[in-house]
Amino acid sequence: VPQKGTLNITTEFGKIEVKPNEICIIQLGIRFSVAVSEPSRGYILEVFDGHFELPCLGPIGANGLANPRDFLTPVAWYEDRDLEEFTVVSKYQGKLFAATQKHSPFDVVAWHGNYAPYKYSLDNFISVNSVSKDH
């Protein structure tokens, strides 16, 4: 969740630009890199057990506060270059491990399914009984 500055996130699925007032979710096991081009500040949360679940929202429905179309996945992109050495750092059970490979981890050309990183602009959030958006 960037508070100041824009984050340019590269994943195996493509690129996502995350600005202040947007949140970005990158699931477990997805390789990513974060680049900044200006002074940046924000908040990072790592979930150690389980995953996020939407609460039961009763009469307003499961998607009553956010429209599914507002959750954006990465723009397709891949990196096609051979390298002498690319270091991938992984975290497992609280410890960091490094491995090297001779190609970019972002060389995935196609994917399908719904297990992908995404972002959501908090400007699109609709409060209950609010006139923050049109009805």
Q: What is the pLDDT of residues 18-68, one digit of tens each?
A: 999 999 999 888 999 999 999 999 998 888 777 777 666 666 666 567 778
Q: Give the structural domain span for 64.
A: 2-79+108-124
Question: Does the residue 134 lie in any domain?
Answer: no
CA 75, distance to chain mean position in Å, is 12
pLDDT band at 1 (very low <50, low <70, confident <90, very high): very high
Q: What's the number of domains the chain is made of?
A: 1
Question: Does the residue 95 lie in any domain?
Answer: no
Question: Does the residue 132 lie in any domain?
Answer: no
Per the model's pLDDT, the better-predicted residue between 64 and 69 turns out to be: 69
The closest alpha carbon to 82, from 57, 101, 64, belongs to 101
pTM of the predicted structure, to 2 decimals: 0.82
Question: Does the residue 88 lie in any domain?
Answer: no
**pLDDT averaged over the chain?**
85
pLDDT of residue 66: 75
Which residues does the annotation mark as catalytic?
Answer: 135
